[in-house]
Structure 1
Amino acid sequence: MAGRAWPGPLEILAALLLGALQTLAYVHTGAWWLQLACVGLLAWRASRVRPGLAALMGAAYGTAWVAAGTWWLFISMHRYGGLPAWMAVAAVIALAAFLSLYLAAALAAFARWRSGRPLADAALFAAVWLLAELARGVLFTGFPWVAAGYAHVDGPLAAWAPWVGVYGIGAVAAFAAALAALQPDRSSASLLRGIALPVALLAVPALVGSPDFTRATGTLSVTLLQGNIPQDEKFEITHQAAALEWHVGALNEARGDLVVAPETAIPFLPQQMPEGLWEGLQQRFGQGDTAALVGVPLGDERSGYTNSAAGFAPGQPPYRYDKQHLVPFGEFIPAMFRWFTDLMHIPLGDFNRGPLVAPSFVVKGERIGPNICYEDLFGEELAARFAGTGEAPTIQANHSNNGWVGPTHAVDQPQPISRRRSRVQQRPMIRATNTGATVVIDHRGRVTHALPPHTRGVLEGRVQGREGSTPFARWAGPFGLWPPFLLALAVLGWAARRRAGP
């Protein structure tokens, strides 16, 4: 594709607009092609500028991308945290700008070591893109929100999920988009490279489909609670009695195999609860046919506190899952940032981390693997539970409280994440949330039952457990993200050495 470098400010403005535009593909998952188009245009423009300007373009694209995908942080910090509006806006932009540094470095490397050969340059672009996404997803506890692969939950690239995971899908998308964009002319060879191979990467897996790497086990009837407690009332003593009464009443009325309540559905430590409540729940679910998983904080001043899910099942001792991947500023305070959290009037805590590989909660032969809040964003960590044999979850359960985003459409953003996780592991995911999205997702990533968001209700459905491992679980379970990191690093090293010459 022919083209010349534009004036620097115009290149940066174009990158800024493309980064913001691609976010629509995460809101409307049927617009997966938009993410490919934006990335392809970015690769095309970055191939025509020097490394310094390419870095600025990467920073602009990344800042707009992350800011447009995490704008709801403004609501959390301003409406519920009490930060002045200007400071909340500045904090969102600062976070996005910091996370964009990885993409800035990636585009600088691409501009520095590209060879002018479309196939090699597309591979280089995919490698540096992958390295940038891995860095954003891992460093400083990681924040891979709106990672490229989540734009392809409903697109043809979704078929790659059980093989390569979300980062791998992002790399395949970057390769296909760059290869289509970096063709030097309209010759037959260029058209073959620029159209045929990207179309094959997109169409063939979708046409062939993903085989079932897992097999069915049993089926559970589940009841999922959605209390719809406004965030500014959740920890207010004057409103807690009514919210607690509803959750406890819904738990006691459930008659399925498993009832699941959201993250901190009971916002009290057991020793702080009204007399007899905790013991009553244990007695209620310690007999009969129904088990329960309830979001609740646990611990004490001496041993520390955890964000947890407590499980009660007939004939079993109480079960406990402690959240392992904590949210910075919400569940632990990073070093040197105490001043920032002190500015907000949010009940924050320094929680203890749970184990990476936690035991499952057994209900009628099915093994339930809980995760809390955005833990399902980190597929490589959940994959560690599948590295062993015999104890891997057959059903995944997410407990969330998305009240921090207020009554906005941002409450739906976590749902594609859970859908992708279901397809990557070929395990169903049940989501019990405070304000939405409360859903049942099958092992193919399809929503089978759902409650409308921002409503109080009880969702009843059936979910089929699965056992067995996908290729992603087999390599990510024991090795984490090292295989894609080393592969991308090898491609980058090959390109740099080839460019340097003998």
Structure 2
Amino acid sequence: MNPVIAILEARPRLSDALALLAGVLLALAFAPYALRPLSILAPALLFLLWWDRTPGRAAWLGYLFGLGMFGAGVHWIYHSLYLFGAAIAPLAAFITALFVAFLALYPALLGYLLARFGPRLPGLALAVCFPAAWVLFEWWRGWFLTGFPWLLLGTAHVDTALAGYVPVLGAYGASLAAALMAGLLAWMVVRWSLRTLGGGLAALALVWALGVGLARIEWTGVDGEPITVSLVQGNVDQKEKWGPDAVEEALELYGGLTRQALGSDIVLWPETAIPTFYHEVEEPMTEIAAEVEAAGGALVTGIFVYRFATGDMYNSIVHVTGHPAAYHKRHLVPFGEYLPLRGLLMWLDDYLDIPMSDLSPGSGRPLLDVGGIIVGTSVCYEDAFGGQVIQALPEAQLLVNVSNDAWFGDSIAPHQHLEIARMRSLETGRDMLRATNTGVSAVIGHRGELIATSPQFETHVLTAEARLRSGLTPFGRWGNGAALLLTFGLLLLSRRAPPPKVMEDTGRTRG
């Protein structure tokens, strides 16, 4: 038996500690820490811990890894529940812990299935099967129960050579590349020899070099001259946003800031910039928009829209200038924008006092014509779903996202959210305008680079140039289907390995 595996097997407490630590380390691979190599090293350590274990033991190690990963990576949920949702501290902590405990079930189940059914041979299992299965579970987490595609391995590579895979295979394709590198590292440890070391290093170099090569390709082209854009960041404290004079104060604040941006082609306000329904402020909004239009621009804002015919309420993006048009948010946040299983969970309304939390989902494609520019639209959390953002293609020349990350205070969430938005620009080959209430507002280039950013927690007007683009990236054409097809193909390849030898007393396998 490999000495590393023997040590890990003989010291279960050490393995438990390493599994928990590996999860925490993976969370540090993402913004704001951005320790990118950990997105490969942490899963490689988990793969080693899973190697040659019983299903129950692998599930426990996966669960500890999940507790570390999601506990360190999404603890910011507590901020929105307690600080801004009016939940008492113990309830906010309990709901956050429950959410983390639920998410940890994903790597727990993955570990169990790999130990129970996976082809547990050092070559194909660690180098191919484990990584492919990891990506399938990321994809499952991205849609099950409305989805939570946060902390995907691929997202951690927005700034590395593996970003080259993103326009072709999307975030899950970059996840697959990172997971394969992690699997190769684990395989090199398990099958340690000069020959294995040479082959493993060559394979690692190939995965990395292919990413570098793909990153050199321009998948989309410039469509016209640059435009000037202004993102208005009001920096309204979430606790004051719904006060008795909040609407008048917001109109005065955003109106004044917008007059500083006259002359820009697009002036963009953040999500729910004015905390009321559009029809209630249509007259003053139209007056502000007329000033913007007279200077040659268009005003776009995030705001609630009420449909009198049906009584539906929407979280929307409204193009105010000229002939008003709106996009209504389609992917709502459970508990924040609607209450799932309302009959069973109605009691939570007494503790989660979140304004406008009974919204309806919109329908139709996420497109708006903004002064002759076709933009692909998303509201806040929707930009986490790459498969939905590309529904605006090929017409969209530019992406627009409005968010209100004030819900998460001075936590790591706004930085993670910006990192996710950068992936959408990479996937689509489009610049993105991202206006937020408290930051980080940003103009993002078509390669995911930050063209300009606002200071966080400051009232600010961010003015910069953006490019309109046309054409389709391979991901824009195929969506997540290509990455999933490749992942399933790797799983089938690993299944061609001969069956493992089973140890009767423990159910483990010999490598």
Do they superpose with TM above 0.5?
A: yes
The whole-number CA distance in structure 1 between the counterparts of 2:210 and 2:410 is: 40
Letter in 1 for 2:198: L
Per-residue deviation, 1:9: 4.1
Per-residue deviation, 1:85: 2.1
The whole-number CA distance in structure 2 between the counterparts of 1:366 and 1:280 is: 22
The whole-number CA distance in structure 2 between the counterparts of 1:403 and 1:359 is: 26
Q: Give the equivalent residue in structure 2 for 1:245.
A: 252
Per-residue deviation, 1:243: 2.7
Determine if the alignment matches structure 1 residue 163 to structure 2 residue 168: yes
Is the contact made by 2:425 and 2:448 (CA closer than 8 Å) also made in structure 1?
yes
Per-residue deviation, 1:494: 5.7
Determine if the alignment matches structure 1 residue 330 to structure 2 residue 332: no
Give SS of 1:295's match: strand
Letter in 2 for 1:294: T
Is the contact made by 2:247 and 2:276 (CA closer than 8 Å) also made in structure 1?
no
Q: Give the equivalent residue in structure 2 for 1:368.
A: 375
Letter in 2 for 1:427: R
Q: Give the equivalent residue in structure 1 for 2:504.
A: none
Q: Give the equivalent residue in structure 1 for 2:133.
A: 128
Q: Give the equivalent residue in structure 1 for 2:477.
A: 474
Q: Give the equivalent residue in structure 1 for 2:505.
A: none
The whole-number CA distance in structure 2 between the counterparts of 1:306 and 1:146 is: 28
Q: Give the equivalent residue in structure 1 for 2:180.
A: 175
Determine if the alignment matches structure 1 residue 397 to structure 2 residue 404: no
Which residue of 295, 307, 318 maps to 2:315?
Answer: 307
Which residue of 3, 6, 14 maps to 2:5?
Answer: 3
In structure 2, do the counterparts of structure 1 residues 33 and 368 end up closer, same or farther at CA, with 3 Å as the change threshold?
A: same
Determine if the alignment matches structure 1 residue 297 to structure 2 residue 300: no
Return 1-10 or 331-340, whichever deviates more: 1-10
User: For 1:451-479, what per-residue CA distance to the aligned partner results, in whole angstroms no more than 9, with x for missing partners?
Assistant: 11010011111101111011111101xxx
Is the contact made by 2:298 and 2:370 (CA closer than 8 Å) also made in structure 1?
no
Alignment of 1:75-90 (within 5 A): 75-90=79-94
Unaligned 5+ residue runs, structure 1? none
Letter in 2 for 1:454: F
Is the contact made by 1:356 and 1:384 (CA closer than 8 Å) also made in structure 2?
no
Determine if the alignment matches structure 1 residue 448 to structure 2 residue 451: yes
Letter in 2 for 1:234: K
The whole-number CA distance in structure 1 between the counterparts of 2:434 and 2:339 is: 27
Per-residue deviation, 1:66: 1.7
The whole-number CA distance in structure 2 between the counterparts of 1:247 and 1:100 is: 42
The two structures have a TM-score, normalised by structure 1, of: 0.91
Per-residue deviation, 1:486: 4.7
Letter in 1 for 2:151: V
Q: Give the equivalent residue in structure 1 for 2:275.
A: 267
Letter in 1 for 2:215: G
Is the contact made by 1:286 and 1:312 (CA closer than 8 Å) also made in structure 2?
no
Return 201-210 or 121-130, whichever deviates more: 201-210
The whole-number CA distance in structure 2 between the counterparts of 1:191 and 1:379 is: 36
Is the contact made by 1:412 and 1:436 (CA closer than 8 Å) also made in structure 2?
no
Letter in 2 for 1:27: A
Letter in 2 for 1:319: A
Is the contact made by 1:58 and 1:100 (CA closer than 8 Å) also made in structure 2?
yes
Give SS of 1:263's match: coil
Letter in 1 for 2:423: R
Is the contact made by 1:323 and 1:354 (CA closer than 8 Å) also made in structure 2?
yes
The whole-number CA distance in structure 2 between the counterparts of 1:410 and 1:197 is: 35
Per-residue deviation, 1:186: 3.2
The whole-number CA distance in structure 1 between the counterparts of 2:34 and 2:413 is: 17
Compute the RMSD of aligned alpha carbons: 2.3
Letter in 1 for 2:433: I
The whole-number CA distance in structure 2 between the counterparts of 1:54 and 1:12 is: 10
Is the contact made by 2:124 and 2:497 (CA closer than 8 Å) also made in structure 1?
no
Alignment of 1:45-444 (within 5 A): 45-112=49-116, 113-183=118-188, 184-206=190-212, 209-218=215-224, 219-255=226-262, 256-273=264-281, 276-281=283-288, 283-285=290-292, 287-300=294-307, 302-313=310-321, 316-335=322-341, 336-363=344-371, 365-386=372-393, 389=394, 392-444=395-447
Aligned residues between the structures: 490
Letter in 1 for 2:317: A
The whole-number CA distance in structure 1 between the counterparts of 2:491 and 2:207 is: 21
Return 19-28 or 279-288, whichever deviates more: 279-288
User: For 1:223-276, what per-residue CA distance to the aligned partner results, in whole angstroms no more than 9, with x for missing partners?
Assistant: 110011111111111444323310122234432111000000011113433x83
In structure 2, do the counterparts of structure 1 residues 356 and 200 end up closer, same or farther at CA, with 3 Å as the change threshold?
A: farther
User: For 1:306-330, what per-residue CA distance to the aligned partner results, in whole angstroms no more than 9, with x for missing partners?
Assistant: 00011034xx421211111111111
Return 38-47 or 57-66, whichever deviates more: 57-66
The two structures have a TM-score, normalised by structure 2, of: 0.90
User: For 1:180-199, what per-residue CA distance to the aligned partner results, in whole angstroms no more than 9, with x for missing partners?
Assistant: 11233432321123222012
Per-residue deviation, 1:374: 1.4
The whole-number CA distance in structure 1 between the counterparts of 2:31 and 2:313 is: 35
What percentage of residue pairs aligned between the two structures are identical? 33
User: For 1:329-375, what per-residue CA distance to the aligned partner results, in whole angstroms no more than 9, with x for missing partners?
Assistant: 11111113332243122214222212252333233x43222211011
Is the contact made by 2:29 and 2:36 (CA closer than 8 Å) also made in structure 1?
yes
Return 66-75 or 110-119, whichever deviates more: 110-119
In structure 2, do the counterparts of structure 1 residues 30 and 359 end up closer, same or farther at CA, with 3 Å as the change threshold?
A: closer
Unaligned 5+ residue runs, structure 2? 501-511
The whole-number CA distance in structure 2 between the counterparts of 1:86 and 1:198 is: 46
Return 330-339 or 129-138, whichever deviates more: 330-339
Q: Give the equivalent residue in structure 2 for 1:488.
A: 487
Letter in 2 for 1:359: L
Return 442-451 or 234-243, whichever deviates more: 234-243
Is the contact made by 2:246 and 2:275 (CA closer than 8 Å) also made in structure 1?
no
Letter in 2 for 1:295: G
The whole-number CA distance in structure 2 between the counterparts of 1:109 and 1:80 is: 39
The whole-number CA distance in structure 1 between the counterparts of 2:359 and 2:259 is: 29
In structure 2, do the counterparts of structure 1 residues 153 and 341 end up closer, same or farther at CA, with 3 Å as the change threshold?
A: farther
Per-residue deviation, 1:28: 4.7
Give SS of 2:91's match: helix
In structure 2, do the counterparts of structure 1 residues 270 and 385 end up closer, same or farther at CA, with 3 Å as the change threshold?
A: closer
Return 214-223 or 338-347, whichever deviates more: 338-347
The whole-number CA distance in structure 1 between the counterparts of 2:41 and 2:384 is: 25
Letter in 1 for 2:212: A
Letter in 2 for 1:426: G
Letter in 2 for 1:54: A
User: For 1:371-398, what per-residue CA distance to the aligned partner results, in whole angstroms no more than 9, with x for missing partners?
Assistant: 1101111001111222xx5xx2111111
The whole-number CA distance in structure 2 between the counterparts of 1:425 and 1:45 is: 37
Give SS of 1:407's match: coil
Is the contact made by 2:279 and 2:305 (CA closer than 8 Å) also made in structure 1?
no
Determine if the alignment matches structure 1 residue 12 to structure 2 residue 25: no
